[in-house]
Amino acid sequence: MLNRIRLKLLFTNTLLLFGVVLIIVLVVYISMNMNIILSTDLEMVNSAVQLKKYLPTFEGESDPSLSSELSSFRSLLSNSAMSLCIWDENYRLLKYENQIPDTKNLQSIAKLIFCRDTREVKALYVHNEDFFIYSLDNYRILSFATANDSGRLRTLQIISNMDIKNNFSKRLLNTLALTSITGVLASFLIGYFMASRAMVPIEDSIKRQNEFVADASHELRTPVTIVRTNLDVVMGSTDESVESQMQWLENAYHETERMEKLIYDLLSLAKADTNSSSQFSFKLLSLENAISASIDRMKDIASSKNIVIDCQKGADIWLHGDADKLEQLFAIILDNAVAYSPVGSSINVAYIRTKQNLALITVRDQGIGLEPGESEKIFERFYRTDKARSRAEGGTGLGLAIAKWIVESHMGEIYAQGAKNQGTTIFIELPAVDAPAS
């Protein structure tokens, strides 16, 4: 499924990119062609204006003052791949310069000036003259009518050979197409790489979710099996009294308590996954009060194992947080410490305000400690350092995951240090605030 999603995203992005690139190529190509045609038309208009000036010379009336200018004009036509034609009133070709296309076509185009045929025609009005521009194969032909010095009608034409400019456009199109294809292919490969990287968190999330469901199912299966087994024993002895079956009933009740705790923890983590800030009620509170309340909740459990919880109180620190969630946090840490500490040991709790304006809370126990590499894993869901002892103590393997969620929701950090059989220290850093004005 993830591969299909990855490929779907990849091809969708590639198609969108290809569409954008195609639009850009077309816009650039069309704009370039329009600019070429416009510049060619203006160039022909300028040449036509000069041709009108030199018309007497082309008809055999010499003017020495124009000879040098005429030479420059002819060079300009040649260099610009342009030609000229002069027609009389009967549309006989009087004069032409440079190579011209078929004269019959030119003659037909010359006659269109007066019939105003609009096929492939562009009309310009410049310098009080009407100029008509036609397209013929690879030529653009400008035609206009004027009179010579004798008052006879003359039709003048400037013909521009567009081969060179069209070849330039084709080369430009080929370059744009090649560049675009290369860019799309490169973006496809980069997109595939980026899509693969982008899917890693999703794959990890789905993997963790599947593992979470599997672990939760496994954790629920054991107490359900125990409850059912004990109730089967009770139901199989219908002639026995309730008192005689108390052992089996107590076993079933104990497992239901364990299931209740597991379900509560699962609901807490489900809320954590929603990242909803509405689950917290932040207000100004005393860190000392939150820790003291948690210690009071854990005293009976600790005393059952003859464990002493010692709190080194310093100057009170104020936080902006959720009092219930922070008490739950400290209760989880203390409960974990008691569960993994030997009988007759002690647990030390301390807190200080650091130079970074953080409340640093430490909880040290004298328990089984941590194996190398476990300092990060203990905050994962359903991870236990000692599975047999944790199950015996009624643990679910979710407490520290919930603790991490609470700390991170308070913009803090939690981490652990420890060595095997040398105890564990949990460090909690929370942002401190100024004390309220008295």
160-218 pLDDT, tens per residue? 888 888 888 888 888 888 888 887 788 778 777 777 777 777 777 777 677 666 666 76
The token pair at 197 is 């990287």
Which of 26-40, 164-178, 272-286, 389-403 is predicted least confidently?
389-403
Laid out side by side, the sheet with 139-147 consists of: 93-97, 82-87, 153-161, 139-147, 129-136, 121-126
Output the average pLDDT for the chain: 80
Residue 417 has pLDDT above 50, yes or no: yes
Cβ atoms of 420 and 369 within 8 Å: the answer is yes
* Between residues 236 and 333, the one the model is more confident about: 333
Q: Is pLDDT above 90 for 73? A: no
* In the chain, % of residues over pLDDT 70: 85
So what's the pLDDT on residue 246?
81
Reported as a single tens digit per residue, the pLDDT across 130-144 is 888 888 888 888 888
pLDDT digits (tens, 9 = 90+) for 344-365: 899 999 999 888 899 999 999 9
**Structure confidence at residue 211 (pLDDT):** 67
Average pLDDT over residues 7-29: 81
Place of tokens 């005429």: 70
pLDDT at 240 over 90: no
Provide the token pair at 49. Answer: 């204006």
Sign of CA dihedral 263, 264, 265, 271: positive
Phi and psi torsions of 98, nearest 5°: 65, 180
Report which of residues 438 and 315 the model is more confident about. Answer: 315
Cα torsion angle, 52, 56, 57, 63, sign: negative
Give the integer Cα–Cα distance in Å for 130 and 115: 14
Provide mean pLDDT across the span 331-341. 88
Q: Residue 398, CB half-sphere, CA atoms under 13 Å: how many?
A: 21
pLDDT tens column, 269-322 = 666 666 655 577 888 999 998 999 888 888 888 888 899 988 887 788 899 988
Strand 318-321 and strand 424-433: the pairing is antiparallel
| Cβ atoms 427, 406 nearer than 8 A | no
Average pLDDT over residues 120-127: 66
Least confidently predicted of 117-121, 134-138, 179-183, 375-379: 117-121
pLDDT for 423 beyond 90: no
**At residue 429, does pLDDT exceed 90?**
yes
The answer to whether 334 and 426 are in contact (CB under 8 A) is no
CA angle 137, 139, 143 (to 5 degrees): 120
Residue 252, number of CB atoms within 10 A of its CB: 20
Q: Which helix (H) or strand (E) holds 239?
A: none
Q: How many CB atoms lie within 10 A of CB 96?
A: 17
146-164 pLDDT per residue, tens = 888 788 898 998 998 888 8
Q: Where are the alpha helices (DSSP H) in 116-245?
A: 163-235
Which of 57-71, 130-144, 417-431 is least confident?
A: 57-71
More confident residue, 61 or 181: 181
Highest mean pLDDT among 2-6, 229-233, 254-258, 379-383: 229-233
Q: What percent of the chain clears pLDDT 90, i.e. is strictly above it?
A: 7
**Tokens, residue 355:** 């130079």
Residues in the chain: 438
Q: Are 101 and 137 in contact (CB under 8 A)?
A: yes
The pLDDT, as a whole number, for residue 204 is: 73
Q: Is 152 exposed, middle or buried (0-12, 13-18, 19+ CB in 10 A)?
A: exposed
Taking the C-alpha atoms of residue 412 and residue 185, their distance in angstroms, rounded to an integer, is 45
pLDDT score for 26: 86
Average pLDDT of 375-383? 78
**Would the pLDDT of 385 be above 90?**
no
Segment 367-378 shows an average pLDDT of 82
Residue whose pair of structure tokens reads 């004027």 in the numeric block: 146
Q: Given this model, what pLDDT does residue 363 score?
A: 92
All residues at 6 or more sequence positions from 234 whose CB lies less than 8 Å from its CB, including other chains: 240, 245, 248, 249, 252
C-alpha 209/C-alpha 200 separation (Å) is 14
pLDDT at 388: 46
